[in-house]
Amino acid sequence: MEIPTSYDIPHGYAFNGISCGIKQSGEPDLALIVADQLCTSFGAFTQNIIRASSVDWNEKNVGSTRAIIVNSGNANACTGPQGERDTLAMAVETATRLGCTPEQVLVMSTGIIGEVLPMDKMISGIDSITDHPQATPENLSLTSRGFMTSDRFSKVASRRFECDGQEFSILGIAKGAGMIGPKMATMLSVFMTDFPLNRSTENLQWFKRIIDHTFNRISVDGHTSTSDQVVLLSRKVEEVVLGDQAVATFFENLWSASEELAKMIPKDGEGATHLISITVSGPQSEEELATVAKTIADSPLVKTAVFGADPNWGRIVSAAGYSGVDFSPETTTLKLNGFLLYSLGTPATFDAEKVSLSISENEQTEIQLQIGAPIHAATFWTSDLTYEYVKINAEYHT
Amino acid sequence: MEIPTSYDIPHGYAFNGISCGIKQSGEPDLALIVADQLCTSFGAFTQNIIRASSVDWNEKNVGSTRAIIVNSGNANACTGPQGERDTLAMAVETATRLGCTPEQVLVMSTGIIGEVLPMDKMISGIDSITDHPQATPENLSLTSRGFMTSDRFSKVASRRFECDGQEFSILGIAKGAGMIGPKMATMLSVFMTDFPLNRSTENLQWFKRIIDHTFNRISVDGHTSTSDQVVLLSRKVEEVVLGDQAVATFFENLWSASEELAKMIPKDGEGATHLISITVSGPQSEEELATVAKTIADSPLVKTAVFGADPNWGRIVSAAGYSGVDFSPETTTLKLNGFLLYSLGTPATFDAEKVSLSISENEQTEIQLQIGAPIHAATFWTSDLTYEYVKINAEYHT
């Protein structure tokens, strides 16, 4: 998927992606995002207690950020004190080149766990990438490719909107195809905006709420990564004063861009042939409905059935049954791609061949489970489980 | 795997397995276990809230049991009121033929979810199987095959032991290869013994404790089934009076037979090439250590790495990190098949080719993770994730 030139790029940001020699393929493995001034920044980080040192660094320093340096092909995770020193060295080198403090540089590393970074290549790569960051479509393409590991396509989304007669943009980049089982945030994603935000309690809550409903509602294999993080950069423009309605418009746009990017991850799930969307509705709390949806999403039996275009609805209903959320079969109804398969505790009569065709002929499979009066609803996205997933993860040391 | 003639068969039990026409292959799909008198019975049942009607029936009636009627190929789960009527009809027909009450007959059904049982075949099968149950090795083989669905081999274990100068036996049968993610009990398993037991609180606790440490410590795909159950039958012989030491000897033997049978399930996991044994030790509670072991066992990334003979230890350590159990990387050490891979938070130096060979050349892979001073330990068993698993579950409607 080539980056179209139509993405909206917010004012004041530049970026680039280059190959510094980590990936043997010669693909970009180093990316830089830099703003023309200090930005307000927001972050969401993995809840895995085995964390990459870059995640610790970013959680400590997020808030006021000038640049983000990203490398792919090596996660610099489980690398002990050496790993911590290398994260610091990346921040220091980038800061020195850009003329800011190391604390104003966030660091992201993604790739194999447990290998030490080749710091000679990193340092000379940082020296080179800080030379010519630009806000061009070509550089955006190189930057997003510099985030990728086992991804088949790069993941970019943008929004443009007007508030009080002024135009603003949001540009987001994400990566991820495997080790996707988010707890609070997933894999790497960066949003840039020229909409001015401060780190008010309300804004932090909005950010968390959006992440919880988008990046925290996807999985490929249910394995929470050591390196998950989502960062939002907002360029402060002191003279701009915007009202509550403008902030709401901003977060609406951020939510929609987040959902678009987040869904690209299971769509690009390792070996995936289907994006599976699971919506569960009922009188239970949204959190409980999301737990049911996630339990269905994590079942290898559901995921292989979708790959095999098999309307094996017993696997879906029984997965819901072990989610830990209380409900009764008598109030449970299941639809798959709009076909009624199970109705109020009893098997429905359906044309299995038609349902099977609706799965095999579409790239997206829609599962709708109602476990009582549909007062609330939650959606979770995942990918199917295929031969290719096993091949990717058994044959290659990633 | 043919049943050897050397299994110890306890006094007073007879059994048989026949084909009643559910399985198209003509393999046995109906099994009967019957005692010459009423037995004390103990049961552990699935915690899936979507349960087969046979599980509800057994939970209500367990305690005093004469016979168990088992069918495979159809789970009679998610079949609504019709399913309940069919479970009752199986118990009534078996009871009528054996001369006991329906409540003294337990019913087990395993196979596809959501299809109604062919009751004409079931009833004539029950009429025929109740004719000639016998305690022969041939009948034991037919009986254990009558439990099987996607199993490649039948699962039988026995123990013989002496207490107070008398000899007793335990004979256990289990089935299971897919939809294995137990919560309290897994798939079908029946134990018969001529050791006399009453349903004292202490005995019930022992039974639960053994199930928790054996059948609840295995997974294939983490998907808890609608039909999981383990039942123990004990023939009461009123004149036998045995002391506490004898009861302890019995439960020791039951524990060891349970562990042997339970481990056969992931060894026979759908498409599996390796049995993976995961032992986690540390100062945490045994329950927390078991949670860490189960989280590692459920990671598709760990399971595919073992299939690929890839000593990709970052996947193991990072899975432990998202288990929800608190520990520090600095006190964490990982060994795989005896090789040290990660030591107190830092990668160890090891010969990757040697470790890879130790995986590919052995049917069992041993993972030992220490997350602090090894005061307690818990072991969990699972299988690897292979092309064949995807094939079995994508291509066949099971």
pLDDT in tens, A128-179: 999 989 999 999 999 999 999 888 888 899 988 888 788 889 999 988 877 7
- Chain A residues within 8 A of B398 when measuring between CB atoms: 312
| DSSP three-state, residue A328 | coil
Task: Please tell me which of the candidates A305, A318, A345 has its beta carbon nearest to residue B225.
Answer: A318
**Burial letters B296-334, b for 16+ CB under 10 A, else e:** bbbbbbbbbbbbbbbbbbbbbbbbbbbbebebebeebbb
Kindly state the percentage of chain A with pLDDT values over 70.
95
CB contact under 8 A, A322 and B78: no
Q: Is the pLDDT of residue A3 over 50?
A: no
pLDDT of the residue at A239: 67
- Chain A residues within 8 A of B78 when measuring between CB atoms: 314, 317-318, 329, 342, 345, 347
Q: Which residue would you say has higher pLDDT here, A208 or B353?
A: B353
CB contact under 8 A, B394 and A304: yes
- Chain A residues within 8 A of B291 when measuring between CB atoms: none
Kindly state the percentage of chain A with pLDDT values over 90.
57
CB contact under 8 A, B301 and A391: no
CB contact under 8 A, B318 and A226: yes
Q: Average pLDDT in the A70-98 region?
A: 95
Q: What's the angle, vertex CA A154, arms to CA A152 and CA A160, rounded to 5? A: 150
CB B59 within 8 A of CB B65: no
- Residue B257 CB neighbours (<10 A): 22
Task: Please tell me which of the candidates B116, B326, B393 has its beta carbon nearest to residue A304.
Answer: B393
Alpha-carbon distance A397 to nearest alpha carbon in chain B (angstroms): 7
Tabulate helix, strand, coil % of chain B (nearest 5).
Answer: 35, 25, 35
> What's the half-sphere exposure (Cβ side, CA atoms, 13 Å) at B325?
27
φ/ψ of residue B295, rounded to 5 = -65, -40
pLDDT of the residue at B238: 65
pLDDT tens for chain B, 398 residues long, are 444 558 999 999 999 999 999 999 999 999 999 999 999 999 888 878 888 899 999 999 999 999 999 999 999 998 889 999 999 999 999 999 999 999 999 999 998 888 899 999 999 999 999 998 999 999 999 999 999 988 888 889 998 888 878 888 999 998 887 777 766 455 688 888 888 888 888 888 888 888 888 887 877 777 887 778 888 888 876 666 777 788 888 888 888 888 888 888 899 888 999 999 999 999 999 999 999 999 999 999 999 999 999 999 999 999 999 898 999 989 999 999 999 999 998 899 999 999 999 999 999 999 999 999 999 999 999 999 999 999 888 876 54
CA A275, CA A364: separation in Å to the nearest integer?
5
B291 is catalytic: no
Residue labelled with tokens 């340092």:
A123
CB A77 within 8 A of CB A83: yes
From first CA to last CA, the distance across chain B in angstroms is 23
The complex's ipTM? 0.79
- Residue A24 CB neighbours (<10 A): 8
φ/ψ of residue B228, rounded to 5 = -50, 130
Q: Average pLDDT in the A48-52 region?
A: 84
From first CA to last CA, the distance across chain A in angstroms is 23
Best A50, A353, A360 member to test B by mutation, with max B CBs in 10 Å, is A50
CB contact under 8 A, A395 and B308: yes
Among chain B residues, CA nearest to A388:
B387
Among chain A residues, CA nearest to B49:
A321
pLDDT of the residue at A247: 83
pLDDT of the residue at A181: 72
Q: Which residue would you say has higher pLDDT here, A51 or A341?
A: A341
- Residue B63 CB neighbours (<10 A): 13
pLDDT of the residue at A237: 66
Among chain B residues, CA nearest to A393:
B304
pLDDT range class, residue A261, cuts 50, 70, 90: confident
- Chain A residues within 8 A of B345 when measuring between CB atoms: 78, 80
CB contact under 8 A, A342 and B78: yes
CB B99 within 8 A of CB B135: no
Task: Please tell me which of the candidates A179, A221, A390 has its beta carbon nearest to residue B386.
Answer: A390
Residues of chain B with CATH 3.60.70.12: 13-267
Among chain A residues, CA nearest to B326:
A49
Please state which CATH number belongs to domain A13-267.
Answer: 3.60.70.12
CB contact under 8 A, A50 and B394: no
Residues of chain B with CATH 3.10.20.340: 275-395
Alpha-carbon distance B205 to nearest alpha carbon in chain A (angstroms): 24
- Inter-chain Cβ pairs, chain A and chain B, closer than 8 A: 200
Among chain B residues, CA nearest to A81:
B346
One of 3.40.50.300, 3.10.20.340, 3.40.140.10, 1.10.287.610 is the CATH number of B275-395, namely: 3.10.20.340
**Choosing from B186, B291, B379, B386, which is the catalytic residue?**
B186
Best B46, B301, B323, B392 member to test A by mutation, with max A CBs in 10 Å, is B301
Q: What's the angle, vertex CA B135, arms to CA B134 and CA B138, rounded to 5? A: 85
- Chain A residues within 8 A of B340 when measuring between CB atoms: none
Q: Is the pLDDT of residue A2 over 50?
A: no
Alpha-carbon distance B271 to nearest alpha carbon in chain A (angstroms): 12
Q: Average pLDDT in the A280-293 region?
A: 94
In DSSP terms, A112 is beta-bridged to A74
